[in-house]
Structure 1
């Protein structure tokens, strides 16, 4: 009796050659464009939609390939010469779109956001990515006496730059690699960072060096990570130093950031928007979206140093209440300092998913004065209500289902969701949709020119 040969196995696809001639299709999330080779998807960097390129394969998986366009056979009209000498295939991975004009970059980002909203959240929405202007006197607006020193369009905006260091040499990581590209200048870095001269010094014992400058006050801090005996070179301008992971002698150095006439203290390498125009623009956009009313209750999740908390507190007035929630201890200390003149603002420390269930809001009988308590009873004679408004600005991973469900149950009027990741934003908008919240308005901002990143603001109302 002859044994059955069993089910026939399809042959594994042969590995493609190292160089591929590709017709480049649409843009994809992550700074790539999509092409195909013998039925396999190829994610191509340094290309633009509609181009024909010769690409070097950089990574092979069972389902797709990654590649770098190393020769442009037919160029897009949107292609420009990359301004940075360190950009390009196999080099610095910090900028994804230096080879595209600024208007084209914004169209590419808009296409990514639209695709994520429709595919993940089932929301069909036309998106325009808005330019983020530099506040007067803080960037490439002509305030520098020496015109040759002004950064070009889309450059000179990054006020916080984290450099890698290997054997004392400073550089930036290559794409999807721990290797560094040694550099002596970063064109997207704010001039105040470049004036320190970080890239032009030796840093023995350091593993990373972050240069931080306030575009509004000129304050500078350098955050150093590495061996305990890592040496700090003499920089070109005075700075204050933070050694990450080591005990700090005295108060943690900070920079002061001015927004709408209010100063915010941000210690060490704490979170702040890196584009000088992003914080004021986002604060204004959130206020426009939520339209806070006197006496309302608002919650600011992942509040950082209190940017949105402060602006909301000013709008709801002394009879209102704003509660910020933040897990980082230093950020909480900064926020409490920044909100010290606003008694209607409070900050709770903890993970958002842990703090949200403990928040209770009450309105004392016979008065409009609002009060909040965690994990305890309410003031005698009070009635409980939810928060009128919620704003959240989570890290790139997004809020997630658990937090979304708690927000959806807490908020009563509007939710403003600020996000730097279209994929996780779309996922969370789908979760909100399941809980009866619908998208009222959507804005996107080019807060990270030359890169794939885009800042979004989604405003939701109860459907």
Structure 2
């Protein structure tokens, strides 16, 4: 059952995969121009040209002709614009799955978080594949055949594959100065009252207090764990709560993971099971040594380390590394059945420095025989971590990525240091948004 909706708690800051500065609200008085939409760009917008200038356009589809209001003319190289009318529609355009995000609304009143909701699902996946393919070509020098797969229905009961709705098991709504609840408007931190939450899991949408007022609160968190009841949590302030923190359980197949309710967990109902299967499948068994110094970097509460353990058995040796101490504590408990598993609280770059500095000849050999799984935040692993990993020279890497550009950059860095992309899969774990998840295997070239 939901918690007391009037209860006030210190605000819980969730671990973020994409910390960004607050965007500006779209301008309401810019000029309206006609544009031919050419292609998709990273970030959920589309590319057009006007009098020789690049224009990034929201709420469009390649091949369409639209009228768009320019919302940012302050840049020399490009403008931003919001579609206000569709003059020649794509056959892939549909009625938006979220009425409050539709192009029929004024841009400043459109709910954010469903920027592809006006596009039919097969085209959404094709567009996401284009973004990943282009990023790999431009940043890693690779021409990859990218097919974006939906999450298997067996992993995500209640989720509509046709509409891309009902998949979010976590959602944060915001509270304005008058106590009204709603999401941020698209590309803005303006709060928009709404009457529906179609991307939310049905049990969360049913509980969401969209017509209530919460004076003094800063946010409303909706959480639907796979084990136990959904919760509505009222939060306020800038500090974590004192004392014991609420924990939940998530089930993936036959396995149960304990974590903090405000800790990181995959948002899509079927994402954890999908990633478990993908990581298991992409590890090359002929290259895998269960007694080597195997690692799960950015390991969270141990989901992917457990995936490796479930494939390779009780003799597995694996270390999961995570900077969040509470997540590491949970990982230690979640992985306790493997005697050779340990959980370390550390920043990944610093941990790799200490690992390299303290490794003798025998341990360096175990590291060279190892498999490293890494699931970095949206910014990717980055040059420092790539350099440290490549210097250790593990046999294979399995990289889980939630940002195509950061992933492509890191693949390019690994290629420069003697690793090649062996296999790549991509999953639509964020339907009706521009986000995509990729899982890849990189192999050290001898």
User: Scaled by the length of structure 1, what TM-score is found?
Assistant: 0.83
Partner SS, residue 408 of structure 2 = helix
The yes-or-no answer on 1:348 pairing with 2:348 is no
The alpha-carbon distance between structure 1 residues 65 and 294, as it changes in their structure 2 partners (threshold 3 A), is same
Secondary structure of 1:113's partner? helix
Deviations 1:137-186 (A, max 9, x none): 73237xxxxxxxxx973001000101111131111111222211112321
Q: Which stretch has the larger CA shift, 396-405 or 190-199? A: 190-199
What residue number does 2:279 align with? 286
The alignment's TM-score, normalised by the length of structure 2, stands at: 0.86
Greater Rg over alpha carbons, structure:
1
Within the alignment, does 1:157 sit opposite 2:167 as a pair?
yes
- The answer on 1:207 being equivalent to 2:218 is yes
After TM superposition, give the deviation of residue 224 of structure 1 in Å: 4.0
The match for 1:55 is: 68
Aligned counterpart, 2:398:
416
What is the CA distance between 1:330 and its match in structure 2? 1.5
SS in 2 for 1:173: coil
Aligned to 1:435: 417
Which digits, 9 at most, give the CA deviation of each residue in 1:174-221, with x for residues without a partner? 12222111123211011122232332322221112221111x324434
Find the counterpart in structure 2 of residue 366 from structure 1: none
How do 1:45-84 and structure 2 match up within 5 A? Answer: 45-60=58-73, 61-84=75-98
- Aligned-partner Cα distance in 2 for 1:131–1:197: 27
Q: Helix, strand or coil: the match of 1:22?
A: strand
CA change 1:417–1:44 in 2 (3 A) is same
Aligned to 2:186: 175
Count residues with an aligned counterpart: 406
Relative to 1, partners in 2 of residues 1:38 and 1:396: Cα closer, same or farther, differing over 3 Å?
Answer: same
SS in 2 for 1:195: helix
2:176 to 155, 161, 166: 166
SS at match of 1:182: coil
Select between 56-65 and 446-455 the one with higher mean Cα deviation: 56-65
SS class of match (1:279): helix
| 1:386 counterpart = 2:372 | no
Decide which structure has greater strand share: 1
Partner of 2:116: 97
Pair 1:197 & 2:211 matched: no
Alignment pair present for 1:130 and 2:141:
no
Q: Paired residue for 1:313?
A: 309
Residue from 407, 425, 431 that aligns with 1:425:
407
Residue 248 of structure 1 is aligned with which of 236, 242, 257?
242
Preserved CA contact (<8 Å) 2:208 2:232: no
Q: 1:105–1:152: structure 2 CA closer, same or farther, 3 Å change rule?
A: closer
What secondary structure does 2:218 align onto?
Answer: strand
* Alpha-carbon separation, structure 1, partners of 2:405 and 2:195: 34
Deviation of the 1:351 alpha carbon: 0.6
The 3-state SS of whatever aligns with 1:71 is strand
Q: 1:194-251 deviations in whole A, cap 9, x for unaligned?
A: 232332322221112221111x324434454324xxxxxxxxxxxxxxxx7243343x
Task: Name the SS for the 1:386 alignment partner.
Answer: helix
Secondary structure of the residue that 1:200 maps to in structure 2?
Answer: coil
Give the corresponding residue for 2:25. Answer: none
Greater RCO structure (CA 8 Å; 6+ sep): 2
* 2: CA distance, partners of 1:24 / 1:284: 37
Match of 2:140 in 1: 121
**1:77-108 deviation line (CA, Å, top 9, x unaligned):** 11101021111333112111111000010011
Match of 1:444 in 2: 426
- The answer for the alignment partner of 1:35 in structure 2 is 48
Partners of 2:354 and 2:132 in 1: CA distance: 34
Counterpart Cα distance in 1 of 2:195 and 2:327: 32
Q: Are the equivalent residues in 1 in contact too, given 2:65–2:87 (CA < 8 A)? A: yes
Unaligned runs of 5+ in 2: 1-28
SS in 1 for 2:406: helix
Greater helix share, 1 or 2? 2
Residues 1-41 of structure 1 deviation map (CA, whole Å, 9 limit, x = unaligned): xxxxxxxxxxxxxxx96100111101111111100000000
Tell me which moved more, 293-302 or 173-182.
Answer: 293-302
- 8 A contact 2:68–2:85 mirrored in 1: yes
1:290-316 Cα distance to aligned partner (Å, 9 max, x none):
134543431101001100111213334
